[in-house]
Amino acid sequence: MIDTFWLAIKFFKREFRSGELSLLFLSLVIATGSLSSVGFLIKRVDDSMNSHANQLNGAQLILKSSTRVPDNWLDKADSFQLEQAQMQVFPSMLVVNDEFKLAQIKAVSDNFPLQGELRVQKKQTSSITKAPPKGEIWLDKRLALLFNMEQKSHEQNSLSKETVNPLIELGESEFQATGVLERVPGQSSSFFTIAPSAMINLSDLALTATVQPGSRVDYIYFFSNSVTSTSQSLNDFQQWLKVKLKAGQTLRSGVDDLKAVNASLQKAGDFLSLAAILTVLLSAIAIAINSHRYGQKQYKNNAIMLCLGCSEKRIILIELYKLFALGLAGCFIGITLGYMIYLGLLSVLDELINLGDQIGQIYFYYMPAWVGLICGLFLLLSLSMANLSRLRQISPVGLIRKASLFEDNFNKGSMTKNKSGKVIYLVSFVGLILLSIWYTENTKITLLFYFAFSISAIVLYLCALFILNIILKIGRKYQLINRLSLLNLKRHKRAVLLQVSTFSLIFSLLIIIFLVRTELLDNWQQKFPEHTPNHFVINIQSYEKMNFEQYLQQNKIETQGLFPMVRGRLISLNNEAIIQAVPDSAREHNALHRELNLSYDQNKVLSSAEAKAEISIERSLAKTLNIRQGDLLGFRVGSRQIEGVVTQIRVVKWDSFQPNFYVIFSSGLIEQYPMTWISSFYLAGKDKIKLNQLMEQFPGITIIEVDEILKEVQFIIERVSDAIELIFLFIILAGILILSSSLLSTMATRMYENAVIRTLGASIKQLRHYLFVEFIVVALLSAFIAIILAEFAIYILYQQVFQMNYSLHPDVWFGIAVISLLVICGLGMIVVNKIFTQSVQSLLSQFTE
Amino acid sequence: MLIVNSLTKHIITPNARLDILTDINFHLKAGESMAITGASGSGKSTLLSLLAGLDSPSSGRVEIGGQSLAELDEEGRALLRQNKIGFVFQSFHLIPALSALDNVMLPLELKSEKNAQKQALLLLERVGLSERCEHKPLQLSGGEQQRVALARAFAGKPEILFADEPTGNLDQLSGENIIELLFQLNQEEGTTLVLVTHDHSLAKSCKRHFQLDHGVLSEANYSEPVSK
Ligand SMILES: Nc1ncnc2c1ncn2[C@@H]1O[C@H](COP(=O)(O)OP(=O)(O)O)[C@@H](O)[C@H]1O
Ligand SMILES: [Mg+2]
């Protein structure tokens, strides 16, 4: 045992020095290097996205409740050493100089916000701060405008340095209005709560006596990890809390309720998962190709060792030790390199991946390092074991004889004849999938991807074989290619196929990442063009509609128009009570327990009065409730019931800032019911005063301001876009490295042959020509297959994951064909260049198999 | 046909300079046959690969058919090998991925000959391997591989054929067959033969006999060429 170990180490040293292991070692370093650096980057970007979301929310976890929560909940949070802050939100009247205004009062504890920026403007300078001090009140811009506070302070400012803060009455106490709220984290929770807001310190609340038993108050509790708590604490607390929630209490974290941000970040997250899978696959290719080649070489050596009396068990043990040593060394160097690259990128791009407070210090993540190590070791060992397992089957001499057949049989013989090898390949593949799931932390996308990918890969392998045969046939018939090249191709059909499979795999991965990245970024850029609506107006009455439209027009405010809205509750599906009709899993769905916003299509008029109203329903809702085209839906609107047939299932882009509806009727039915109108428009920050005029003219309407959130979203998306770009570039780089190493490796087995051919008098021109033809065929075939593979995978991904529209990408086809030709022919010719520059004799001794 | 002038070859190793061949001189007329004998390690294989232009000498010159090898570029040497030179390696250097037939066809294909397969089959038949056409080199015995290598060397119809111990792996009978084959070629086509051998009967069959001793070449004394 120990002897064997030392023997293995001796062999390892020897082979390492002789350079036999260098390709395998290099591939391991590249594979684990890209795996870990991409992993670190992804983790970092992920953290960054979460951190931005937390800053938006003001904390990592938010509990909203319509009643005060039991004290022991908060004690529990204490015991987890979490940071806490509180906010109580309720509507109340503010009084200034006998002027009454309704406001939404936010009473916050001293340490609000836990995360993110509470930005307040005081005397013309804005600053970032915590909760207002006792006795002070901060008003949002609109309230400040209403009370003319800004102007007053402005005038006073110009008159004297002394500023007299206006006094504002709230309930039974008076507050000094000292600041104007510019940005308040946690806004998102009050997305649809309406009146302009004012903020006071929570400890002043009792004095105002505005909150009486029975008052409508929202209690909002913020929780974040503290310096002393572990990152797991918050999760534990969340789990603990989740089961205790009652009606009227919601728990959220990240960007759960911000659909626009959520959808974008979700996509970004999916992209990162995809990037991770591709990196794993690329790494696997690098390791597989090189360990295959190494196995081939070792095979012969081991056969000789068997003949020399070394037992098979011992040989396998020696190999294992050797590979383990190689794996550890390679992974260690790869991961270290990956970490250094990642750190280098961070230092260059710290602005980009700026995490803000709290986790800014964490630079190292364990997961990518572990995945790198285990992936490297596992793939190296399992793939090499698949080769080693062949040792068992033949007598020592048979082994030596068969040793050279091995290469040819890789695709056919070894896979089918060698049962244990087959099992090991299968194990490797399953292991790869599990590793990918670990790495991506996204089971769905991983499984989906591997499923689509392996199916199409098998089909395409057969395709490649078929096409190659056709090329050979046509080439012979019409003398398209030089005869020798043709023969060369024919003889090395399997080797060529192995190359084509490898290269097309790599290319398709690169195409996928390129296309998804490009379309994702385009998508985002289109999503928030300049003048994206940043204000919503609801509760516009029908009689006000004309005036409202006129007002917008006169004030040159850009709008998307007005949409009718009727509140109604979904009560039946195909004449069955809805609760019974939907799948069990959907019974708790919100849409069944509250009124939905229904709209109707002003342009779509039914042909005949008798016909049933038509309904267009949002896709994800339809999916959850299992509603299909042709289903009859019943709604209760007020006290009456209406019905309609589902004729359209619609994709709603929740990540656009547009009024969206789950259900849209054809016109002619719901107009008769009490209805209000909803609109959205764009207003620049300096024009916000117009909101007050608008409110004065239409006192009944409610304005929802999303401009701050929109800015935040745009900011996040810009960051994320940059990060995606970076990871994309990095993967491309890794891909090119791996492509070159595979080319090097697959060509290395054929160098000897080329040397022999040279001794027979093949001129360099001849040899060049026929290698060139081979490379061209490999390049074009790889490109062709890669394109089909990628288009198919992308089709599935867009449908299932990214919810983007799919269309073919002919420009990319052309591009990849050109790139493939350039890279494979170019690199290939560089790799084989040795054959042309060295003397034949030295080639022969160098490449003797 | 073959003129060698003060040919030397040495190798610089990290420790020392290793002289493999020193000051080799000889002339060989077209159609002549020549045997080189010598102890193992005396430099025979090295000499042969220098003569065939597979390696470049440290100094001196080799002329084949009036053409100095040193004056040719790699391209020219390749063309020369393709059209005028045949070579049988001591370790055969058959291409493992190719069948015996494919191996023999290679030189013909390089010359773009039309009926390569037919010619190759004929050659394999001549070396007695017509039944093993489709077998890969490592499925063949050493002797069989040697015969494939010979067939391959013959395939290009060379003007001069270099063979490194062509009968080294063969039994008496097949050895004699090969020798017969070689001299048949020598006679029918006028092919010049340069053979490295331990086989005395083969050496005697050659018109001229040289001995290599620690890199020094000398023509053997007894010069009573037995012509066949
Ligand atoms: N590339 C090389 N590096 C080191 N030594 C070499 C090299 N080529 C040949 N030699 C040495 O030169 C001597 C002659 O080799 P060779 O010509 O093969 O002898 P032989 O007469 O047995 O065919 C041997 O000692 C061999 O070890
Ligand atoms: Mg020798």
Is the ipTM here above 0.90?
A: no
A405 and A496 fall within a common domain: yes
Q: Which residues line ligand 1 (CB under 6 A)?
A: B 11, 18, 20, 38, 40-46
The verdict on a CB contact (< 8 Å) between A401 and B139 is yes
A293 and A173 fall within a common domain: no
Position A654 confidence tier, pLDDT thresholds 50, 70, 90: low
A676 and A541 fall within a common domain: yes
Q: CB of B137 within 8 Å of any CB in chain A?
A: yes
Compare B1 and B97 and report the one with higher pLDDT: B1
Single residue among A642, A673, A705 that ends a domain in this structure: A705
Q: CB of B80 within 8 Å of any CB in chain A?
A: yes
For A700, residues 6+ apart whose C-beta sits below 8 A from its C-beta are A539, A540, A541, A544
The verdict on a CB contact (< 8 Å) between B78 and A761 is yes
Nearest to A834 by CA among A763, A759, A752: A752
Residues of B in contact with A848 (CB under 8 A): 91
pLDDT at A350: 60
pLDDT at A673: 81
pLDDT at A187: 62
Question: Which residues are paired to A87 by β-bridges?
Answer: A108, A220
Nearest to A38 by CA among A511, A728, A722: A728
Q: Burial level of A718, CB count in 10 A (0-12/13-18/19+)?
A: middle
pLDDT at A189: 42
Position B61 confidence tier, pLDDT thresholds 50, 70, 90: very high
Of A760, A763, A836, the CB nearest to B107: A760
Nearest to B10 by CA among B60, B68, B72: B60
The verdict on a CB contact (< 8 Å) between B102 and A491 is yes
Q: What is the pLDDT of residues A807-847, one digit of tens each?
A: 888 888 899 899 999 988 988 888 888 777 777 777 777 76
A387 and A522 fall within a common domain: yes
A271 and A214 fall within a common domain: no
For A388, residues 6+ apart whose C-beta sits below 8 A from its C-beta are A295, A298, A302, A315, A316, A319
- pLDDT above 90 for A38: no
Nearest to A329 by CA among A12, A619, A639, A10: A12
Compare A2 and A161 and report the one with higher pLDDT: A2
pLDDT at B148: 92
What is the C-alpha separation between A502 and A496, in angstroms, rounded?
10
One-letter amino acid identity for A129? T
A231, part of any domain: no
Quick one: which H or E segment has residue B2? strand B2-12
A404 and A446 fall within a common domain: yes
Mean local confidence (pLDDT), A156-163: 44
For B97, residues 6+ apart whose C-beta sits below 8 A from its C-beta are A404, A407, A408, A491, A492, A495, A753, B136
Parallel, antiparallel or unpaired: strands B59-64 and A218-225 = unpaired
Compare A15 and A72 and report the one with higher pLDDT: A72
Mean local confidence (pLDDT), A720-728: 76
What is the CB neighbour count within 10 angstroms for residue A790?
27
**Substitution site in B9, B19, B42 for ligand 1 pocket (most atoms within 8 Å of beta carbon):** B42
Minimum-distance ligand to the CA of B37? 1
Position B199 confidence tier, pLDDT thresholds 50, 70, 90: confident
A385 and A513 fall within a common domain: yes
A343, part of any domain: yes
Q: Please, what is the end-to-end C-alpha distance for chain A in angstroms?
A: 31
Range of the domain at A783: 2-51+263-526+714-846
- pLDDT above 70 for A484: no
pLDDT at A191: 45
A635 and A539 fall within a common domain: yes
**CATH code that applies to domain B2-220:** 3.40.50.300
pLDDT at A180: 85
From A352-366, A514-528, A540-554, the region with the lowest mean pLDDT: A352-366
Single residue among A705, A739, A768 that ends a domain in this structure: A705
pLDDT at A151: 47
Strands (DSSP E) contained in A586-707 are: 596-605, 613-618, 632-637, 640-650, 663-667, 676-682, 702-705
A631, part of any domain: yes
The verdict on a CB contact (< 8 Å) between B96 and A766 is no
Give me the phi and psi of A396, to 5 degrees please. -50, -45
Q: What is the pLDDT of residues A766-797, one digit of tens each?
A: 788 878 888 888 899 899 989 988 888 888 88
Single residue among A168, A202, A221 that ends a domain in this structure: A221
Strands (DSSP E) contained in A509-630 are: 535-541, 558-573, 576-577, 596-605, 613-618
pLDDT at A280: 80
Tally of domains within chain A: 3
Domain boundaries, chain B: 2-220
pLDDT at B28: 92
Parallel, antiparallel or unpaired: strands A558-573 and A632-637 = antiparallel
A680 and A755 fall within a common domain: no
User: How long a stretch of residues is chain A?
Assistant: 849
pLDDT at B160: 93
pLDDT at A410: 39
Mean local confidence (pLDDT), A320-330: 89
Residue in the block written with tokens 């590249």: A30
A76, part of any domain: no
A417 and A540 fall within a common domain: no
From A418-427, A438-447, A756-765, B112-121, the region with the lowest mean pLDDT: A418-427
What is the CB neighbour count within 10 angstroms for residue A153?
22
Position B21 confidence tier, pLDDT thresholds 50, 70, 90: very high
Q: Which two tokens stand for residue A160?
A: 């004297």
pLDDT at B8: 94
Mean local confidence (pLDDT), A326-347: 86
Give me the phi and psi of A197, to 5 degrees please. -110, 160
A560 and A660 fall within a common domain: yes
A452 and A541 fall within a common domain: no
Q: What is the pLDDT of residues B166-179, one digit of tens each?
A: 888 778 888 888 88
- pLDDT above 60 for A193: no
Mean local confidence (pLDDT), A483-507: 79
- pLDDT above 50 for A448: yes
